[in-house]
Structure 1
Amino acid sequence: MGKLSHRVCYGVSISFGYATVGIVGSAGRFEYTASGTSINMAARLCDVATHIEILISAQAWAAVESVIETVSEGEVEMNGIREQIEVFAVVSE
């Protein structure tokens, strides 16, 4: 660590699903963006994740369950999403 002894810690999330990705705006102002339910869910999972934690949605878990060790964190209520969502944490070794 440096002289100031600051640690940078953040949670990571992965969601799986359809999204709209591309340039949005008008000729005078535009930007590259992504939107959709999977994008919103990833953002909400980031809000729930603690530092150095990787959370994944149930859809992402279904895609990687045979190759990545995970543990269920139970169902979580997320702002802007109607039903509770089962969340999985990636287990690090």
Structure 2
Amino acid sequence: MTQEYSPEIKNRLKRLEGQVRGVLRMMEEEKECKEVVTQLSAVRSAVDRAIGFIVAKNLESCIREANDMGQNAEDAIQEAVNMLVKSR
């Protein structure tokens, strides 16, 4: 099934893109290592939240689809868990 991505998640990724550009700018300005790492940690956290959001929305869609077809959603749930584990 093809996933439709909402404007909300696209906006999250655009903000992430801006954060990464900000880290590059900090490096070009030769900012302290601690400041750069702090910002990179914030980027990583934001990426993790984006992954969780996408997986949750996909899972929600798969469960609805399984219910509509009278099927069990266990496979979709397991796949979502596997995606989250692999993303770490």
TM-score (norm 1): 0.23
Instruction: Point out the structure with the larger strand share.
Output: 1
Instruction: Point out the structure with the larger helix share.
Output: 2
Could you say which structure has the larger radius of gyration? 2
TM-score (norm 2): 0.23
